A = this chain, B = another copy of it.
């Protein structure tokens, strides 16, 4: 009976009555991380099973834009074609800053050095890139173009730490949703390599041997509960926990300020729970990606964000996820984006950003928003004075986006946290080595267990530093490491 098994408690192999199947490597979750793990494991000669609770491959990766953060080693074809030479050290330094106070240096180093080779590997799997560059700031291309500025590369403090280079690579797919193409390509490779796949199969628990090593998984499939032995390893690629609101409340309650978790039903934290049930440690469980996708229209980047007290809080030219993160740190539900006639354009409807107030002077807007005199208006005054001189001494917004907001009428766009679109997902997960091995709190590997994708805490582990493409970069690259190492034994 399935209710005997819980993701929080492993089954002991001595209690297994029948093994339904036996493979070298068992992978839980057929998103991008699981697919890449399967490809590498099978390529290395391992008899590999991939298990997916949905009725087909895809996971949350298939719902994404398919964008992957790539660069270094002088640049990808798309970067070079656009005139950028991306240095490995610049990529490394960017990743370290993006990772926050506990950036994983070993992973950042490995990824910076091998990111170009990873690009080539993705292309070799069949992933098409048009290799064209769109210099405008956007969430994702509306076309089948490739390269965009997908993070805070040109924005302070990232621009001080590393030479800016665009690194968001989107597959050749018309408009948003290139993640479906990415998963089609990867799933086809998985099939071509003869990897066994079970769909509608949910992993309930891990199985451990007398020595505490992971040696299989309990699956619920077609109304039956079965045990599958993994001769070498189990790889958990089962997503994050954004869809488990109880788990979000206990670990990342700040994310509850947004009603817009993004993911698939599989992002229920069961992968992380299975990992901790056998000694793995979950780290940075409070961290999440939270976005306020207010651009395009790009001209709004010339506006300024203020909180309920009329205070600026961020350089508005940084990545929309960095802005969303800082918006959530502000007290009060109210966040406004101030624009003037020259910079205003209506944000797309999906952002649920409306107009809170408009006026012929900033004092009038301030009054309409019921802010005390000398708050919002003083903020704009200081901003305008310096913007006219091409400077932003307070928040270091780049000169490119500085323009005094002095052409009436003026508008305060309503980005309130309890109404506007602040999509989010979780970044905390199992601590792993660059090999994908799950480690305990002393960083000792748990034998027989690997993790990748958002079940692990990888390169993206700081909401303030997130950039589009980092999660798939991490999932695909470290999924590959996990597959290769798991196939080679532990």
Contacts and interface: CB of A to CB of B under 8 A. Distances in A.
Interface of A: 6-9, 100-102, 212, 247, 249-251, 253-254, 256, 269, 273, 276-277, 279, 281-286, 309, 311-312, 329, 372-375, 378, 381-382, 385-386, 393-395, 431, 440-442, 444
A381 B253 CA distance: 36
Nearest to A377: B378
A160 B253 CA distance: 22
Given A372-B382, A374-B381, 13 more contacts: A7-B441, A8-B281, A8-B444, A9-B279, A250-B284, A250-B431, A253-B284, A276-B276, A285-B286, A309-B395, A372-B393, A373-B382, A374-B385
A347 to B, nearest CB: 26
A102 B250 CA distance: 6
The oligomer's copy count stands at 2
B442 A8 contact: yes
A284 B8 contact: no
Contacts of A281: 8, 250, 276
15 contacts: A8-B281, A8-B444, A100-B253, A101-B253, A251-B283, A273-B441, A276-B281, A276-B441, A284-B286, A285-B286, A286-B286, A309-B394, A372-B385, A374-B385, A375-B394
A205 to B, nearest CB: 11
Contact of A102 (B9, B212, B249, B269): B249
B254 A6 contact: no
A441 B394 contact: no
Contacts of A254: 101
A375 B100 CA distance: 28
